[in-house]
């Protein structure tokens, strides 16, 4: 019995030896990323409404050549609102109450296409209330 165990141990020793390291393979998916910080100043927001002048929202467009067709179809784009050292993932939805007991909601979201990105701010009461300067962080992964 001892000879069988010794034979198995010796066989495992020779089987577990490593040879030389081969060439590096191609880079796989999910291994590339890029972080882009964006600022929308309070004067940069564009006012948008429907044809009747209703349903007001604010938007800002960014040219973003980093969003290639490959990133668009095979990667992902994540957006964050950066405020007071905290990052909140988009869409960002917060509910508010003013001093007159009126309730409203602010929603911040984004969309993107090859070569560009838009950020949107909508208030549920559609009030004329342009957003302040906002900081965003965009993470591209492919």
CATH number, domain containing residue 112: 2.60.40
Model pTM? 0.76
95, part of any domain: yes
pLDDT per position as a tens digit, 97-133: 989 999 999 999 999 999 999 999 999 988 888 999 9
87, part of any domain: yes
22, part of any domain: no
65, part of any domain: yes
More confident residue, 18 or 72: 72
18, part of any domain: no
24, part of any domain: no
Dist CA 119 CA 41 (whole Å): 12
74, part of any domain: yes
Tell me the HSE value of 97 on the side-chain side, using a 13 A CA sphere. Answer: 2
- Say how far residue 15 (Cα) sits from the centre of its chain: 46
Name the token pair of 63: 């040219």
Q: What is the pLDDT of residue 128?
A: 87
Q: What is the pLDDT of residue 129?
A: 86
Q: What is the pLDDT of residue 13?
A: 63
Q: What is the pLDDT of residue 65?
A: 97
Q: Which residue segment(s) compose the domain that 121 sits in?
A: 29-141
Confidence grade of residue 22 (pLDDT, cut at 50, 70, 90)? confident
pLDDT per position as a tens digit, 27-65: 665 579 999 999 999 999 999 999 999 999 999 999 999
Name the token pair of 23: 């060439």
13, part of any domain: no
| Number of structural domains found in the chain | 1
Dist CA 142 CA 29 (whole Å): 6
Q: What is the pLDDT of residue 62?
A: 98
């Amino acid at each position: 019995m001892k000879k069988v165990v010794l034979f198995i141990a010796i066989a495992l020793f020779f089987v577990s030896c490593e040879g030389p390291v081969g060439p590096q393979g191609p880079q796989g998916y999910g291994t590339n990323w890029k972080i882009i910080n964006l600022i929308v100043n309070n004067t940069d927001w564009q006012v948008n409404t429907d044809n009747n002048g209703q349903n007001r929202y604010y938007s800002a467009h960014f040219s973003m050549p980093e969003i290639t067709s490959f990133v668009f179809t095979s990667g992902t784009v994540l957006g964050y609102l950066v405020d007071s050292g905290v990052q909140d993932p988009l869409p960002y939805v917060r509910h508010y109450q003013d001093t007159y007991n009126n309730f409203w909601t602010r929603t911040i979201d984004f969309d993107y296409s090859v070569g560009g990105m838009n950020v949107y701010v909508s208030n549920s009461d559609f009030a004329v209330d342009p957003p302040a300067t906002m900081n965003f962080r965009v993470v591209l992964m492919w």
